[in-house]
A and B are shown apart, each in its own frame.
Chain A
Amino acid sequence: MLLGAYLPGDSPVHRAPAGVKLAVLGAGLLLLAVRPGPVPVLVGACVVLALAALARVGPRPLAAQVRPLLWLLVPLTALQLWLSGPVVALTVAGGLLVAVAAAGLVTLTTRTEALLDALVAGLRPLRRAGVDPERVALVLALAVRTVPVLVGIGSEVQQARAARGAERSVRAFAVPFVIRSLRHADRLGEALEARGVDD
């Protein structure tokens, strides 16, 4: 579920409240978990594809959401094929694909801010147990933001390593990567404080 991949739009799926989308997603995932089988997976896949069509989300952005899962899906399917046969293997792999595609569709059609608002509202009852919903939302937002930053740092460090002719040196990558990542974390913390985010 790649948060921050929002595709602007005005479809009914886009306009649906984030809380409703998260609740439907949760119910769907629960159903897939308690009633596993080829039919629920097939129905789930049809629902996701229909909603994607309604939201005018093409196959490419949806595929980008499930692509990170492939490294897990391929060996898992092979293992299930070997241990339990083709029906179970396809059900497990299909169920995972449908679940991740459904979650991806939610993020593609919902602004991160709306998701955070829904999360804050959902966590509000836990305030009595000492959970600060705004802080949880902040942590999630920071996690989302950190992914492209770390990718950017990694890419720059990689280029710097190549420019110095040390392409194979793990150390030449790890040391500047860790230092720059920590420095970024420091600056980000300072910037959040300056914006009064955690006051």
Chain B
Amino acid sequence: MAKVTVDGIELEVPNGSTILQAAELAGKEIPRFCYHERLSIAGNCRMCLVEVEKIPKPVASCAQPISEGMVIKTDSDMVRKSRRSVMEFLLINHPLDCPICDQGGECYLQDEAVGYGSDHTRYHENKRAVNEKDFGPLVKTVMTRCIHCTRCIRFLSEVAGVPELGATSRGEEMEVGTYVQRALSSELSANIIDLCPVGALTSKPYAFTARTWELRKTDSIDVLDAVGCSIRIDAKGPDVLRILPRINDAVNEEWLGDKSRFALDGLKRRRLDRPWVRQNGRLVEASWEQAFAAIAQRMHNVAGERIGAIAGNLCDAESMIALKDLMASLGSGNLDCRQDEAALDSTRRAFYLFNTTIEGIEEADACLFIGVDPRREAPVLNARIRKRWLAGKFPVGIIGPSLDITYDATHLGDGPSAITALQNGDHEFAGALEAAAKPMIILGQGALARPDGAAILAAVWALGAKYGVMNADWNGFNLLHVAASRVGALDMGFLPASGAKNLAGMMQGGVDILWLLGADEFDMSRITADQFVIYQGHHGDAGAARADVILPGAAYTEKNGTYVNTEGRAQWGARAVMPPGQAREDWRIIRAFSELIGHALPYDDLPAVRARLAAANPIFGEIGQVRRLAGIDLTGPTGEGAFDAAPFRPAVSNYYQTDPISRASPTMAKCVAAHASPLASAAE
């Protein structure tokens, strides 16, 4: 610790802090444009200049480390004059088109100009104008507004690991761009919109939609992958207009994947906004009463074991527990949440969680991927792995497809034979795992959703046991899920009861009545014509097309729901807008139906459902928390059988379209088109 004085306040700050950090600890705000806590220090905007005693020149506080006894002034005449002059320089070439700029109202430059700007200009020469760039379907550019802070350049090259932006030309001619015009290829590209301190980079889909002060802001959780990023949903009237990341150091820091941010226009399309009942082979609009009556009628005299339920990937825990309880009351244990039929073992949480935790990645010292594509399955989590890799001494091995994951990795093999080789120590990467004190393995759903999945799971656990991946201080055994609902469903046991049918068992006439709760991700042709299908969900996707009765539910932005992320962290999503038309919150639909058929579920408000959840598994009551489990018990999951020689295929092949919402999103479709033919856009 070093003692410094900031504006007369004496305080102790950690050695190696910058003056800016010391000032913040002293409660002094230092204006800045280029500096960002999570990026490298640039020191180029010169807005953060402060005065330091015994140093004759003003000092850039973002880049200057403190030293013992430093006396810092953040608000002297010299400092104010310096900031005013920097502001004047920045505004020389800034167009001051705030009235037509989407950044207006949430613009650093605008905010600081109130403090340090002048009411008139002394610059009477021509301003520069810069040609627009085309960064693809997500990021809109007005490069004339750019103040060259280079945050976007640094983000893409440092955090996203895709160094696609840079500067060309010097001096006043300097421009930020891609050099050869092309769409940004990072799954995290839109974070540069948040980072841009001015209106040079704004959201293309959101352009000219609303002003920030018109928006209703709701803190919630993203469900389009299993990371559970903290988000803020910005809505106006009945519409979700914008989704932004919230800071959550334990999960997403302050980043968000492009899909999670921009699939929101899918929330307005292909919506199920009223019940439908199939009559004479065609779906016709119906009332809630008619829809419920049709189900009740079909269920009449059907034995419990002839009824089954499948939970989809976006389901909240509340609706799943309600459906599970309903099924139990009907005498059915035919439940499954594994639409991909991944061989998950729910007997111990350690078998299906990302045990290391996302924050824990930063402690790891080696990593092995098995059948997983972290960049497309969980881009924000991949950024954390990259952050660890950048810190150095972090060997990464891949078993599975050799993909660009934005950092260096050793490719060990395409399929299960590489696991055997590693188990036998027949690969040089074995040395890296052996040398590591905190090695981690990340096993993807792609490696489990195959006939030999259970054997793979058991073999990977055994591999972990051999290389000390699980020990008393550390658990490096990790499953990376892709479905936001999956861990919650496993935690509550949304799985076949003993002797009951799993998804495969329910197919091909295995049950007479199938209740699909937002389940769209399996092959509907496996359901035979005589099976009666209830689809409860929010989008007219695969499940609804096969349904005999459609119950319109709420999307994640329209309900209060609990989701457990891949780490096992229970989090609450919140309702930002009402579901459209006659659609309702999903657990309430099930509760209403249960009453109709005389099996009323014993809860009728949200706290009561959540109490039921916590009773089923206490983790549902530990909101925001994660239990880091030590890897003491080395008893592995039971899985036997021979390996299939087929190479692993990652669970996500098309990042932009993975669920009913993103498949309904025109913006996501544009992303797919932009990345399907990058050369075409470059040649334009």
Asked if A pairs with B, the answer is no
Residues of B within 8 A of A (CB): none
Residues of A within 8 A of B (CB): none
